[in-house]
Chains A and B, each alone.
Chain A
Amino acid sequence: MQRTPAADSVRIARENISLAIQACGVADTAHLRRAISFLETAVTDVRRAEAEVLSATPPDPAKLRRETMLLKRQVAIMMRVIDGCAALRRGLSVRLGCTAPAYTSQGRPAGAPPPVSACEMQG
């Protein structure tokens, strides 16, 4: 089986995260499922890149570093989108009186539901 260079896998992961960001712009479950599917593929891509780097020194380390930094930037954008959208929903859940799960931006459950003011995303 032909091996994919790590830099290419990282680039593909970046494209998948970009698609996930676009899918998050519509507030319906179908789009959100698509976003999650893109993210799952991105996880597979970066894991493949990690395995490739572990198995051999990358042929073009500078390219890999550049691609990695671009992906890191895209991940930061994705984190902001998720945080922003989740904050909107969390605010709505407080308004509707239901207890939505609260979690950190790393996806870990938070100790307690946030206060109302925390639902307002800061720019």
Chain B
Amino acid sequence: MASNLLAILGTAGSALDAFQQALTVTQNNIGNSSTPGYASQSVNLEAQPLDVASGLAGGVAAGSLINSRDQYAEEQVERQTQTLGEYTAQAQTTGTIQSLFDASGTSGISADLSSLLQSFSAWSATPSDPTAQQSVIDSASTVASDIQGLASSLSQNAQQLDTSIASTTSQINSIAAQVQAYNAQRLNETTPDPGEDATLYSALDNLSQLTSFSTVTQADGTVTVLLGGGSPLVIGSQQYALSATTSASGAEILDSQGNDITSQITSGQLGGMLNTRNRVLGSMMGSSAQTGTLNQFAAALADTVNQILKSGTVASGAGAAAGTALFTYNSPADAASTLAVNPAITAGQLAPVDASGDANGNANQLAALESTPLTNLGGMSLTQYFGQIASDIGAENQTATDNQTSQQQVVAQATSLVNQVSGVSLDDEAVNVLQFQRAYQAAAQLVAAVNNCLESIINLIPVSAG
């Protein structure tokens, strides 16, 4: 009888302990409801064996802590946030570059080029008029100066991006240090502390905005963080710091051994910035691997104009002086940043007469450059080629902005999913998932209907329109 009483008291005691622990966990959940990265916990109440004959009184005891965090949902948020970070950085950086170009063509280099071609045209009508000659030199000077200005602005953009890339790399290292500290702490604990767990996931959320990475939770509870391509950032209590540098090919990210791992950073803000810096700006400004479209444009303008002028003479008749080059630049690789009007040329040294003796043959050829396809510009005219450079950056910005808009919604959906999945019955969630999938199918069909109708409208609009 006494042993039964003790067993009952023991059962009651262990039940009280269990519920006390459950209460503590609940208080913890309430207290941390707005802590970034915190996932609610619950206590697994384990039934105790019941065998009165051998003195086992049954009841419950507190078991392991159950974390409501859903790995799939967390990973999706991280993954989608990485992509959003990439698009956001691309939209911002390409937007800044786009603002350097005038899409309407009424100002900037497009307008300057138009003025130069008009001055050639006016000069062709009065080849020996000093005012017309000076106008050509003045217009050429404006074009050269604005091309240099654009090259300089692009170069400043590249430098700003290099600074941002270095700063983002430092932020990544700083977050990696937080993960490393968590791991070091975790190696000394048997069960994870919910507060530290929240800090870890908050750190990973922040990291996902900056770069592409994946995580693996090891058997000892530590978290291994690998960059997109597999380079380690944190393994156990060891951190592998990244560094940023610049070279002739653009911005580079180096691992702790000094290896170039730039190609592994494909998303996150860092991925987006690297993309704009190395691909978009690289294709315009040139790099070790390419001349750059702006340099090609500047060199083609200078070479074509110079070639025409040098092939002719300043006046008709034997003994007339040969033409002089109007433009100068250092080399094809830096043509845009060094383009200038030949300091030695005077208005009287412009050569309107072509090789066949036509008094304004050269001036006419120069005036026709607006629509003359040039082989060194892939068969495009100067005007078309510069327009293409401006429209390419416009298209880059539009794509990035559209991607950012759609990705914001996907991230919101993924974040919402985390809250929905945490701490709910998986059976309920399975029903929910089916409902959502059917609703998305319906939405997709409606969007397809709009799209089909749009195609029909496009085909019906008269071709001559806009």
Binding site for A on B (CB under 8 A): 72-73, 76, 79-80, 82-83, 86-87, 266-267, 398, 402-403, 405-410, 412-414, 416-417, 420-421, 426, 429-430, 433-451, 453-454, 456-458, 460-462, 464-466
Query: Is there an interface contact between A50 and B76, defined as CB atoms closer than 8 Å?
Result: no
Instruction: Please report whether the interface of chain A is mostly helix, strand, loop or mixed according to DSSP.
Output: helix
Query: Is there an interface contact between B450 and A77, defined as CB atoms closer than 8 Å?
Result: no
Query: Is there an interface contact between B444 and A86, defined as CB atoms closer than 8 Å?
Result: yes
Query: Is there an interface contact between A25 and B433, defined as CB atoms closer than 8 Å?
Result: no
CB distance from B46 to the nearest CB of A (A): 25
Given contacts A25-B409, A120-B79, contact A42 B450 (CB under 8 A): yes
Q: Which of A72, A85, A100 contacts B410 (CB 8 A)?
A: A85
Query: Is there an interface contact between B448 and A106, defined as CB atoms closer than 8 Å?
Result: yes
Inter-chain CA distance A98–B430, complex, in Å, is 6
- Residue picked from B76, B82, B446, B456, most chain A C-beta under 10 Å: B446
Q: Which of A33, A62, A63 contacts B439 (CB 8 A)?
A: A33
In the bound complex, residues from chain B placing their C-beta under 8 Å from that of A63 are 466
Q: Considering the complex, give the chain B residue whose CB is closest to the CB of A57.
A: B462
Inter-chain CA distance A100–B439, complex, in Å, is 11
Q: Which of B398, B406, B454, B461 contacts A81 (CB 8 A)?
A: B406
Query: Is there an interface contact between B446 and A84, defined as CB atoms closer than 8 Å?
Result: no
Query: Is there an interface contact between B437 and A89, defined as CB atoms closer than 8 Å?
Result: yes
**Contact indicator per residue, chain A 27-54, by CB within 8 Å of chain B (1) or not (0):** 1110011011001101100110110011
Q: Considering the complex, give the chain A residue whose CB is closest to the CB of B87.
A: A123
Query: Is there an interface contact between A85 and B440, defined as CB atoms closer than 8 Å?
Result: yes
Tally chain A residues at the interface, Cβ within 8 Å.
72
Query: Is there an interface contact between A103 and B444, defined as CB atoms closer than 8 Å?
Result: yes
Query: Is there an interface contact between A43 and B437, defined as CB atoms closer than 8 Å?
Result: no
**Contact indicator per residue, chain A 58-89, by CB within 8 Å of chain B (1) or not (0):** 10011111101001110111111111111011
Inter-chain CA distance A63–B465, complex, in Å, is 9
In the bound complex, residues from chain A placing their C-beta under 8 Å from that of B436 are 27, 29, 32, 85, 89
In the bound complex, residues from chain A placing their C-beta under 8 Å from that of B266 are 123
Inter-chain CA distance A67–B442, complex, in Å, is 25
CB distance from A39 to the nearest CB of B (A): 4
Inter-chain CA distance A61–B459, complex, in Å, is 12
In the bound complex, residues from chain B placing their C-beta under 8 Å from that of A17 are 447, 450
Query: Is there an interface contact between B461 and A78, defined as CB atoms closer than 8 Å?
Result: no
CB distance from B325 to the nearest CB of A (A): 44
Q: Which of B79, B403, B433 contacts A89 (CB 8 A)?
A: B433
The answer to whether A112 has its CB under 8 Å from any CB of chain B is no
Q: Which of A43, A49, A86, A100 contacts B457 (CB 8 A)?
A: A49
Q: Which of A25, A75, A84 contacts B447 (CB 8 A)?
A: A75
Inter-chain CA distance A86–B441, complex, in Å, is 8
Query: Is there an interface contact between A107 and B454, defined as CB atoms closer than 8 Å?
Result: no
In the bound complex, residues from chain B placing their C-beta under 8 Å from that of A32 are 436, 439-440, 443
In the bound complex, residues from chain A placing their C-beta under 8 Å from that of B413 are 24-27, 84-85, 88
Given contacts A36-B439, A103-B441, contact A77 B412 (CB under 8 A): no
CB distance from A24 to the nearest CB of B (A): 5
Q: Which of B416, B440, B454 contacts A72 (CB 8 A)?
A: B454
In the bound complex, residues from chain A placing their C-beta under 8 Å from that of B406 are 21, 77-78, 80-81, 84
CB distance from A50 to the nearest CB of B (A): 5
The answer to whether A118 has its CB under 8 Å from any CB of chain B is no
Given contacts A17-B450, A107-B447, A123-B86, contact A61 B435 (CB under 8 A): no
Given contacts A84-B406, A88-B417, A100-B434, contact A68 B457 (CB under 8 A): yes
Query: Is there an interface contact between B430 and A96, defined as CB atoms closer than 8 Å?
Result: yes
Q: Considering the complex, give the chain B residue whose CB is closest to the CB of A109.
A: B441
Q: Considering the complex, give the chain B residue whose CB is closest to the CB of A48.
A: B453
CB distance from B327 to the nearest CB of A (A): 39
Given contacts A46-B454, A121-B410, contact A96 B405 (CB under 8 A): no
